[in-house]
Amino acid sequence: MFLRAAIALQTLALFSTPVTAGLLLSTPSGHTLHSASSYGVFVATVLHLVTAVLVWRPGGGSPRPILHAAGFLGLVLAQVALGIAGLKTLHIPLGVLLFGLSLLQLSRVWAGRRVEAPAADRRDDEVHAMSGRPDRP
């Protein structure tokens, strides 16, 4: 649940950055807004990494989300460096990639919980069918 919330926050923060990038081009205060949204992305990504560690260590979950979160943090740091350097030809496509990867992570985490319950019901029905007992209504 906490991992879902952290990735959703990260995705929302990533969604706000192209909006503020458009403001960067059209309004005098756009630079401040885009800078604030990039700080928001960084904070949300660090929160995602911390949440992944907390889900793994005390919760006994898989360490795989930590690798995803750490890799994502590396890409965000590269994105920040490219933005500061003014390399828009790499900064913009990497931003699109980050948003797509965050959506992919969110869909995997979100779907992971929903798939478990029907699979358990199906196995229970298969056991009833194999034992000769009638199916449940």
What is the domain partition of the chain in residue ranges? 2-131
- At 101 the pLDDT is 93
* Spatial contact of 31 and 115, defined as CB atoms under 8 Å apart: no
Q: Is the separation of the CB atoms in 18 and 91 below 8 Å?
A: no
pLDDT digits (tens, 9 = 90+) for 14-72: 999 999 988 988 888 888 999 999 999 999 999 999 999 988 877 677 788 899 999 99
Q: What's 63's DSSP letter?
A: S
